[in-house]
């Protein structure tokens, strides 16, 4: 069987600053010598873990601004191959603040500036130039302002017309409009799934786990979506739920199954979902069942959470 190769796509790159404090005291100056800077964004994290799993991967994205050389040098240091188009949208920063005494991990996210007109067209041209070279396409994350809601669905349509395996870790309108083109795996977390398809499952910006028969409700929602878009035998659903068990529904099956695991104390959970996606994709490419691929994905996510650097395995 030919070796699998992976094209990862994300339209929202970031520079991730991780700061670790023994404790945080409000309204004072808090200092630390324990910090790091990494190239990040969901697609970058997926590519990093795929490279660590000895898989061939290329990341496609938009880049702009004076920090682009720094971003690319950090990618090169991690062995991440990047194909990019000019957007004139400065690379944003995201900050992970870890309070060891308080056992908290807080994420501070900058929203990206709008990309230039023409960036979407350039990105689609670049995508079409390389998509034939890969067996698996992984599209992750949100998009910077300036991209249309049809960009990701068009990428999915192109990939499926060429017989590629497509894994989507996206949400909202990008996900909804991609379903008619039959992605192989849809992998949001449960909150993203609910915010896209069932906002009544959310209370005070969190999943309401007090809802009776929550899993059965989610199963019914997915079955309705599958019927509406004729997804049966075409698309599988994988729902991560943080430290809780993973829910999944295989293509051709109307039942949501469960993969339980023992939670661990995370050093830094940022990027664990991306590590999961990479492990899942790598296992599927080797012929693993969906359950086995989920187990491999979880192993990668657990390795990531046990380390300070985000998006690593």
Distance of CA 95 to the CA centre of its chain: 17
Q: What is the pTM of this model?
A: 0.96
Confidence (pLDDT) at 264: 84
Tokens 């188009």 locate to 85
Confidence (pLDDT) at 45: 97
The domain limits of the chain are 5-305
Distance, in Å, from the CA atom of 145 to the CA atom of 184, rounded to the nearest integer, reads 27
Confidence (pLDDT) at 3: 73
Residue numbers of the chain with a pLDDT score lower than 70:
1-2
pLDDT tens-place string over residues 128-165? 999 999 999 999 999 999 999 999 999 999 999 999 99
Q: Write the CB contacts of 167 (distance below 8 Å, at least 6 apart in sequence).
A: 136, 137, 138, 139, 183, 184, 185, 187, 277, 280, 281, 284
Q: Give the CATH superfamily of 5-305.
A: Ribokinase (3.40.1190.20)
Confidence (pLDDT) at 2: 58
Confidence (pLDDT) at 312: 81
| Helices and strands, counts by H and E, the chain | 9, 15
């Amino acid at each position: 069987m030919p070796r699998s190769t992976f094209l990862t796509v994300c339209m929202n790159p970031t520079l991730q600053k991780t700061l670790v404090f023994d404790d945080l005291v409000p309204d004072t100056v808090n200092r630390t010598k324990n910090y790091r800077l990494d190239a990040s964004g969901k697609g970058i994290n997926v590519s990093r873990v795929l490279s660590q799993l000895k898989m061939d991967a290329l990341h496609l994205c938009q880049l702009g601004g004076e920090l682009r050389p720094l971003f690319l040098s950090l990618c090169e240091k991690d062995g991440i191959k990047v194909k990019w188009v000019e957007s004139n949208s400065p690379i944003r920063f995201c900050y992970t603040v870890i309070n060891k005494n308080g056992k908290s991990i807080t994420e501070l996210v900058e929203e990206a500036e709008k990309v230039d007109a023409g960036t979407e067209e350039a990105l689609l041209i670049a995508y079409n130039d390389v998509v034939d070279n890969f067996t698996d396409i992984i599209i992750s994350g949100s998009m910077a302002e300036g991209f249309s809601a049809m960009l990701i669905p068009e990428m999915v349509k192109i990939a499926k017309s060429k017989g590629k395996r497509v894994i989507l870790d996206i949400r909202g309108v990008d996900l909804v409009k991609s379903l008619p083109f039959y992605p192989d795996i849809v992998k949001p977390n449960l909150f993203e799934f609910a915010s896209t398809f069932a906002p009544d499952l959310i209370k005070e910006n969190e999943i309401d786990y007090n809802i009776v028969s929550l899993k059965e409700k989610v199963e019914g929602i997915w079955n309705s979506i599958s019927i509406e878009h004729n997804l049966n035998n075409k698309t599988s659903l994988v729902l991560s739920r943080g430290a809780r068990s993973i829910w999944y529904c295989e293509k051709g099956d109307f039942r949501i199954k469960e993969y339980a695991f023992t939670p661990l104390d995370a050093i830094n959970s940022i990027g664990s979902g991306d590590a999961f996606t990479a492990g899942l994709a790598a296992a599927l490419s080797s012929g693993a069942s969906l359950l086995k691929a989920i187990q491999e994905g979880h192993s990668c996510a657990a390795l990531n959470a046990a380390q300070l650097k985000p998006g690593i395995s």
